[in-house]
Structure 1
Amino acid sequence: MTTPAVPASRIPEEVHRRRWAILGVLMLSLLIVVLDNSILNVAIKTISTPAPTGLGATQSELEWAINAYTLVFAGLLFTAGLLGDRLGRKLVLLGGLAVFGIGSALAAESGSPTELIVFRAVMGLGAAFVMPATLAVLMNVFERDEQPKAIGIWAGGVGLAIAIGPITGGLLLDHFWWGSVFLINVPIVLLAIALMVWLVPDSRDPNPGRIDPAGVVLSVVGLVLLVYGIIKGGQLADFTDVTVLATIAAGIAVLAAFVVVEKRSDHPSIDITYFQNKVFSAAIAVIALVFFALMGVTFFSVFYTQSVRGYSPLQTGLLMLPLAAAQMIFAPRARLVVDRFGVKATTTGGMLLIAATLAAFASFEADTPIWLLEVVFFLMGTGMAHIMTPTSVVIMQALPREKAGSASALSNTFRQVGGALGIAVLGSVLSASYRSGVEDSLGALPAGLRDTAGESIEATLGIAAKLGARGQALVKPADDAFLHAMHVTALCGSVIALVGAVVVAVFLPGRPKAGQQGEPEQELVVAAE
């Protein structure tokens, strides 16, 4: 049998020598994109506090402040990936970082929840051009045999950002105003731009795709309508409301039109043919499902630690350290587990661990020993590390190197869409369950205050504080209603994670037999030529 010739390296020697320094710059750029959401997590309660401490944002406004970022991010990721393929990844990275920095500075000076939502969307615009370009550059400065290790370190950078974010946010909130959690991005952006100009080489696709404006508009409009309807249903605690149903139906119809347009287009935003590969589709679906579950849990866990347990933003940030530490420890090493047990066993185990940790939240009460929360966070991070690294490798190696921007964009699009829908759906479940649980205790309040107090635990506690001694009677019912709502929401997230485990177990490849080792790699090398 003739051994296939190994293609010569197409990576210049000068670039190859500084590949690890380049990876460090890419991780710094990635850091700010992830850091922004992890910092915001501990600031949610502060922003919901009335002025001058915060902006007095309602729970639905908080959900939109998060989702304005993620929806713009998700809606433009694929177009940003194509622009990177066409114009050059370095140029797109620099432009994205600049827009992100400007959006961060504006968000820090927001005078109302509406302004914050708008400027968060600007930040999402910049982030959309940063995220896919970082992974695309990585795929073009590392040889294929080093790519899994580099992707593992890249994924570990996400864990680092998750670790730094809440602690940094807590420190800032202890000493400065809430806007400082956004302003901190600006110096990081300036440093990343300077290092990128110096170190990072440019790369592009010699045969880039065409931009698809119709697909971009349909995807963004469809997602916004769908998410708006879901959030509105939670706000009203009534998903049978005509406005809610009509908006959700309109969102689904627009997204269906998007799929039809993409199938017929000769330059689609998303190449539907990629999803004919069951392994690729399963890996993408799992990323969406795990972020659906985890983003929703992160949203309510902040209110649990701060509103129910009474921890400060800094203490909350420190409580989340085990989640980040586990990702930092295991993400770079997950490939070793995959080598021994295969992708299917590793990711199925990770999804089952995520499901178990989410279900554990359904047992937490106001006096649960806090070390149990720490154990759950560590196990959750461990599960994530053994899902994200193998699925990222599967996705990135499923397409030729020249299409790295497209593969990265697809991965991150579904990650962001999953996260946005997780916040919308699980946030709405939390909101509806809380309102149902607390409304019987609000009967003594005036009608106007009663409706406001039922929006969230923070709204109830805020009104209780204004009422002084008379308001103390609301605190215990608010805590009880929130805990019940958290339990319901956590179980919903656990079910979603179990669905992900089934998808992984059915569709992802198992451990290759000894005689098959190396065959997929040869196919991928050929595809990259």
Structure 2
Amino acid sequence: MHRRRWAILGVLMLSLLIVVLDNSILNVAVKTISTPAPVGLGATQSELEWAINSYTLVFAGLLFSAGLLGDRVGRKKVLLGGLAVFGIGSALAAESGSPAQLIAFRAVMALGAAFVMPATLAVLMNVFEREEQPKAIGIWAGGVGLAIAIGPVTGGLLLDHFWWGSVFLVNVPIVLLAIALMLWLVPDSRDPDPGRIDPVGVVLSVVGLVLLVYGIIRGGELADFTDPTVLGTIAAGLVVLVAFVVFEKRSDHPSLDVSYFKSPVFSAAIAVIALVFFALMGVTFFSVFYTQSVRGYSPLQTGLLMLPLAAAQLIFAPRARLVVDRFGNKATTTAGMLVIAATLVAFATLDADTPIWVLEVVFFFMGAGMAHIMTPTSVVIMQALPREKAGSASALSNTFRQVGGALGIAVLGSVLSTAYRGGIEDKLGVVPAGLRETAGESIEATLGVAAKLGPQGRTLVEPAYDAFLHAMHVTALCGAGVAVVGAVVVGLFLPGKPKTPQGAQEEGELVRTES
């Protein structure tokens, strides 16, 4: 047991903070970035989706290899290198002159983040003994909640006083502090029997995911999923991903060890993480447009409105293990998924004049549900594999979280686009023919065109609000359906109430037996 383990946990949480902080900051900045220059970059909805997904796809695609590299060359070295690359990418993203540059520099940031995330959990598993691991993982998960809390508020403050690029530049001083503390405090560790890097697997996974996500986003852009290019791209992505699984199964040094998934407990825990982030990332994407475009709140006010979601995570994540001790993984996580489903159904009832405290209550319950999913599933995943494979287990957990989130933004973003275009198309008669295609892309595009048309464009504002609210309701109900599927998966496959508290040694044996 390492004597400075709690201080080390603090440094690991600071490293984790900037990786998660970046995405939560970007959430409140998407409307500003979609505003035409000089205020923003004039990004379209599909470009905004790519600004988020270029990060998540590179991140997800490299996590397997990053975890293995940490196991091989040392987790501390990988953490330091990852933080440095993330800092450089942040500085470049802040100076982007176009949406394409922002998408590219976000990918550089993801390259660094991919090496930070799995190494933090792997170091944690190495410096804490088994009986303290659930508590440490609970605090680690609470750190994610803290980042979700700080991100939108920080983003709102920065956007109120500085240009949009400041939401990326703020990462640089945090990176420098984290590197200094890590050099001082964090011990190095590695797997005595690490796997070999698998470049073919990495390429297949990234190419497959990019094709699949591109096809889904393009379908939303065109509001037509029967378009041959959309169907062809999605099919090609699925074929490449199947080839990836087949290759990994036959490889003697796979990035993704398919044998882990023979355990129904492990598979269910991984699947539910992907499903919950599928639902939540899609919701976060459209909730910013609801608060800013429809309700008229500023980025800072939007950040403050999201505080209940983060507060609930901070309150419940460290205590979720106590609920698991009492009721078991199955009951706790199933209840968490059903709470998430109920909050998404509640989103489908929100209107332009719904009292704002209703949204606050919805966000709080969403955070509470998430806390009671993330902590127990993280413990199940990390303790289902031997300690020396901590990097691989962490990488798998985070990969499926990111893939779930990327697909959530792509699929639910496309549902939102398609439903919005369907609701606004017949109201665009006052718009010049050359601008109709652009005006139908998103609520921001419609309101932007309406502003250019002057008094004539004012007739578009109310229809734009109505079309967006209808699209948001449809999207939220799709997310709720996904959450219900997650609840069924958990209810069928996760272990029930443990015979001993999670902190006890026997718990490890229970997880292995039941898996």
Q: What TM-score, normalized to structure 2? A: 0.98
Q: What letter corresponds to residue 309 of structure 1 in structure 2? A: R
Secondary structure of 2:497's match? Answer: coil
Secondary structure of 2:130's match? Answer: coil
- Structure-2 separation of matches of 1:105 and 1:30: 18
Secondary structure of 2:70's match? Answer: helix
Q: What letter corresponds to residue 184 of structure 1 in structure 2? A: V
Q: Which residue of 2 aligns with 1:430?
A: 416
- Structure-2 separation of matches of 1:91 and 1:448: 54
Q: Which residue of 1 aligns with 2:82?
A: 96
Do structure 1's residue 67 and structure 2's residue 53 form an aligned pair? yes
Alignment check: 8 A CA contact 2:321 2:375 kept: yes
Alignment check: 8 A CA contact 1:463 1:471 kept: yes
Q: Which residue of 2 aligns with 1:449?
A: 435
- Structure-1 separation of matches of 2:384 and 2:214: 34
Alignment check: 8 A CA contact 1:306 1:316 kept: yes
Unaligned runs of 5+ in 2: none
Secondary structure of 2:430's match? Answer: coil
Alignment check: 8 A CA contact 1:400 1:524 kept: no
Question: CA shift at 1:522, angstroms?
Answer: 4.3
Q: Which residue of 1 aligns with 2:215?
A: 229
Question: CA shift at 1:317, angstroms?
Answer: 0.1
Which of 350, 354, 376 is residue 340 of structure 2 equivalent to?
Answer: 354
Q: Which residue of 2 aligns with 1:214?
A: 200
Do structure 1's residue 400 and structure 2's residue 400 form an aligned pair? no
Do structure 1's residue 138 and structure 2's residue 118 form an aligned pair? no
Alignment check: 8 A CA contact 2:500 2:507 kept: no
Q: Which residue of 1 aligns with 2:457?
A: 471
Secondary structure of 1:51's match? Answer: coil
Q: What letter corresponds to residue 153 of structure 2 in structure 1? A: I
- Structure-1 separation of matches of 2:459 and 2:474: 24
Which of 18, 23, 29 is residue 43 of structure 1 equivalent to?
Answer: 29
Secondary structure of 2:495's match? Answer: coil
- Structure-2 separation of matches of 1:421 and 1:97: 26
Q: Deviations over 1:387-426 (max 9, x none)?
A: 0000000000000000000000000000000000000000
Alignment check: 8 A CA contact 1:280 1:395 kept: yes
Do structure 1's residue 163 and structure 2's residue 149 form an aligned pair? yes
Do structure 1's residue 148 and structure 2's residue 148 form an aligned pair? no
Q: Which residue of 2 aligns with 1:372?
A: 358
Q: What letter corresponds to residue 432 of structure 1 in structure 2? A: T
Q: What letter corresponds to residue 61 of structure 2 in structure 1? A: G
Q: Which residue of 2 aligns with 1:4?
A: none
Q: Which residue of 1 aligns with 2:106?
A: 120
Q: Which residue of 1 aligns with 2:374?
A: 388
Do structure 1's residue 300 and structure 2's residue 267 form an aligned pair? no
Secondary structure of 1:201's match? Answer: coil
Alignment check: 8 A CA contact 2:316 2:371 kept: yes
Q: Deviations over 1:241-289 (max 9, x none)?
A: 0000000000000000000000000000000000000000000000000
Question: CA shift at 1:50, angstroms?
Answer: 0.1
- Structure-2 separation of matches of 1:499 and 1:449: 40
Do structure 1's residue 439 and structure 2's residue 447 form an aligned pair? no
Alignment check: 8 A CA contact 1:309 1:366 kept: yes
Identity %: 85
Alignment check: 8 A CA contact 1:47 1:56 kept: yes
Trace 1:8-47 onto structure 2 (pairs within 5 A): 11=1, 16-47=2-33
Alignment check: 8 A CA contact 2:430 2:457 kept: no
Q: Which residue of 2 aligns with 1:84?
A: 70
Question: CA shift at 1:524, angstroms?
Answer: 7.4
Secondary structure of 1:363's match? Answer: coil
Q: What letter corresponds to residue 177 of structure 1 in structure 2? A: W
Alignment check: 8 A CA contact 1:74 1:413 kept: yes
Q: Deviations over 1:214-245 (max 9, x none)?
A: 00000000000000000000000000000000
Q: Which residue of 1 aligns with 2:264?
A: 278
Alignment check: 8 A CA contact 2:145 2:314 kept: yes
- Structure-2 separation of matches of 1:359 and 1:215: 38
Moved more, 442-451 or 511-520: 511-520
Which of 484, 489, 494 is residue 498 of structure 1 equivalent to?
Answer: 484
Q: Deviations over 1:307-354 (max 9, x none)?
A: 000000000000000000000000000000000000000000000000
Which of 90, 108, 119 is residue 94 of structure 2 equivalent to?
Answer: 108
Question: CA shift at 1:513, angstroms?
Answer: 4.0
Q: Deviations over 1:173-217 (max 9, x none)?
A: 000000000000000000000000000000000000000000000
Q: Which residue of 2 aligns with 1:8?
A: none
Q: Which residue of 1 aligns with 2:314?
A: 328
Question: CA shift at 1:448, angstroms?
Answer: 1.7
Do structure 1's residue 204 and structure 2's residue 174 form an aligned pair? no
Q: Which residue of 2 aligns with 1:481?
A: 467
Alignment check: 8 A CA contact 1:35 1:162 kept: yes
Alignment check: 8 A CA contact 1:97 1:127 kept: yes
How many residues are treated as equivalent by the alignment?
Answer: 512
Question: CA shift at 1:521, angstroms?
Answer: 2.5
Alignment check: 8 A CA contact 2:321 2:376 kept: yes
Q: What letter corresponds to residue 145 of structure 2 in structure 1? A: G
Moved more, 445-454 or 153-162: 445-454
Q: Deviations over 1:125-147 (max 9, x none)?
A: 00000000000000000000000
- Structure-1 separation of matches of 2:364 and 2:429: 41
Alignment check: 8 A CA contact 2:90 2:171 kept: yes
Question: CA shift at 1:512, angstroms?
Answer: 2.9
Q: What letter corresponds to residue 143 of structure 1 in structure 2? A: E
Q: Deviations over 1:57-112 (max 9, x none)?
A: 00000000000000000000010000000000000000000000000000000000
Question: CA shift at 1:428, angstroms?
Answer: 0.2
Q: 1:279 to 1:427 in 2, by over 3 A?
A: same
- Structure-1 separation of matches of 2:501 and 2:322: 19
Q: Which residue of 2 aligns with 1:6?
A: none
Q: What letter corresponds to residue 399 of structure 1 in structure 2? A: L
Q: What letter corresponds to residue 489 of structure 2 in structure 1? A: V
- Structure-1 separation of matches of 2:498 and 2:89: 47
Alignment check: 8 A CA contact 1:284 1:414 kept: yes
- Structure-1 separation of matches of 2:501 and 2:107: 50
Alignment check: 8 A CA contact 2:380 2:511 kept: no
Which of 277, 297, 306 is residue 311 of structure 1 equivalent to?
Answer: 297
Q: 1:91 to 1:514 in 2, by over 3 A?
A: closer
- Structure-2 separation of matches of 1:514 and 1:455: 55
Q: What TM-score, normalized to structure 1? A: 0.96
Secondary structure of 1:146's match? Answer: helix
Secondary structure of 2:467's match? Answer: helix
Q: Which residue of 2 aligns with 1:521?
A: 508
